[in-house]
Homo-oligomer: A and B are copies of this chain.
Amino acid sequence: MWKDHAEETLDTCDFIHVHPDVLARVKAALPEEDLLYDLSDLFRIFADSTRIRILYVLFESEMCVCDIAQVLGMTQSAISHQLRALKSAKLVKSRREGKTVFYALADGHVRTIINQGLEHIAE
């Protein structure tokens, strides 16, 4: 018996283990979906070692695309693609000077986020 609710409990346990009020509080605390996607999109930018290396380079100095490519030993195209990702995430900004385009960090959040990541790795 009691099989009538088999469908809606297909993927959940038979009873809730935490107190119902906790469950309600947890659900209420969840941010909107849009914000969650924006957050994961932002962290996805940091989830690539090439982009991390570019950010580290820009920690030291603003630099043009081909200099970054040379320092990192990669093609201009690859760097340019990644700089676009970094710029659309507003982590870097660009400034044109004749034929060359200089990139620089957009703000201080980049350093803070990376430093927190380092602290976590160091344990």
Contact = CB atoms under 8 A, between A and B. Distances in A.
Contacts of A35: 118, 121
A56 B69 contact: no
Interface residues of A, number: 63
B22 A61 contact: yes
B26 A71 contact: yes
Contacts of A13: 64, 66-67, 70, 100
Contacts of A88: none
Interface of A: 11-13, 16-18, 22-23, 25-27, 29-31, 33, 35-44, 46-49, 51-53, 56-57, 59-61, 63-64, 66-67, 69-71, 74-76, 90-91, 100, 102, 107, 109, 112-114, 116-121, 123
